[in-house]
Amino acid sequence: MLIKRRFRLGVLGSGKGSNFVAIAEACARGTLPAEVALVLSDVESAGILAHARERQFPARYLAPGAFRTKLDESAERTYVEALRAAEIDLLVLAGFMRVLKGDFLRAFEGRIVNIHPSLLPSFPGLEAWKQALDFGVKVTGCTVHFVDAGVDSGPIIGQQTVPVLDDDTPEKLHHRIQTAEYELYPRCVAAIARGQVRVQGRRVLWRLGAKILLVEDDREWRQLAANSLRDAGYDVLSAGDAAEVSLLKDHADVELVVLDLDLGGENGLMLMRHLKGNHPRARILLYTGIEHDTEAVQRMLDAGAHRYVRKGALSELTATVQEELEKSGNPESPGSNASA
């Protein structure tokens, strides 16, 4: 019998913990398939510990020792022992202001990640947003990377750009970079938790989950839904009408079509028949925000749709998509690790 085991995160932080909050909220929403196993800080009054305790996560202050920029040997052993006892799968640095050295890195080799407020390899080190502004670049951003023995030098997992505006101050630019960090960091950690990334030399290669075609004529909702499904690890194509759907007919590997029934009537029936012909492997999920009479819904089901679900929150869509993919036996649907 297979028992699902949640991917376990350890978190180190020295400050207010805003990136930790973004990761914890992604875990709570289910877009990051993991649980926070332990939060440690080298600062007794750090906000990250308060945030962790509010959410009832194990959280501890551990004295860092005599050095200002690194852990001393005794403290390093204490940190490593605590993280090993928590059985973490990945160690997430969230504003941890001490450099990790040899024995610590070897204890969790290839399993430590960090986020840096620039597009590495540009502007490593402290106050990277100020470095970017002073240098005069037009675009900066943030980078999630694996941690190695260098300074902000490990393999790059993901990056997100942020434009530098003419009236920017260091504070304004830093704020916008932080907003990007809150999106990028949970997305990259989620990909690791799903086993969707692998390191090949200096390159980190991503493997996406099942391919989904989202057909929705409301552009704003379509964008929100596509982003939500991508955050959950799926490879998403989107279309707003029959003409756009026809442009995607060569994607025979689509495994699920999410079709807004508001496209409805005879046009909807015709479109669904085209979808069945172009994507023969795909299950078709009718997903709509308006009421339809049972006869109209039944006609769509008779024409080949597999399920009808009333449109709700984006988190409900993600859960429904996963259910449908599990019915199809798709091995690429995101989920928890399993062990015997």
SS (H, E, C) 121-177: CCCCCCCHHHHHHHHCCCEEEEEEEECCCCCCCCCEEEEEEEECCCCCCHHHHHHHH
User: Does residue 3 register a pLDDT over 60?
Assistant: no
Q: Which amino acid is at 228?
A: S
CATH 3.40.50.2300 in the chain is located at 211-335
End-to-end alpha-carbon separation of the chain, Å?
A: 6
Three-state DSSP class for 323? helix
Confidence of residue 310 (pLDDT cuts 50, 70, 90): confident
Q: Answer whether 0.75 is exceeded by the pTM.
A: no
Confidence of residue 187 (pLDDT cuts 50, 70, 90): very high
- What is d(CA 80, CA 93) in angstroms, rounded to the nearest whole number? 14
Q: Quick one: the chain helix, strand, coil %, rounded to 5?
A: 40, 25, 40
Confidence of residue 274 (pLDDT cuts 50, 70, 90): confident
Token digits for 252?
A: 């025979």
Token digits for 75?
A: 């403290």
In the chain, the DSSP E strands lie at 3-5, 7-13, 34-41, 59-61, 90-93, 112-116, 139-146, 156-163, 197-200, 203-206, 211-215, 235-239, 256-259, 283-288, 307-310, 337-339
For domain 3-206, give the CATH number. Answer: 3.40.50.170
Cα angle 137, 142, 148; round to 5: 115
Residues 263, 305 contacting (CB under 8 angstroms) = no
Confidence of residue 230 (pLDDT cuts 50, 70, 90): confident
Q: Does CATH number 3.40.50.720 belong to domain 211-335?
A: no
User: Does residue 333 register a pLDDT over 60?
Assistant: no
Confidence of residue 324 (pLDDT cuts 50, 70, 90): confident
Token digits for 121?
A: 């390899």
Confidence of residue 334 (pLDDT cuts 50, 70, 90): very low
CATH 3.40.50.170 in the chain is located at 3-206
Confidence of residue 1 (pLDDT cuts 50, 70, 90): very low
Please identify every residue annotated as catalytic: 116
Taking alpha carbons only, the member of 161, 90, 77, 69 closest to residue 119 is: 161
- What is d(CA 174, CA 117) in angstroms, rounded to the nearest whole number? 8
User: Does residue 47 register a pLDDT over 80?
Assistant: yes
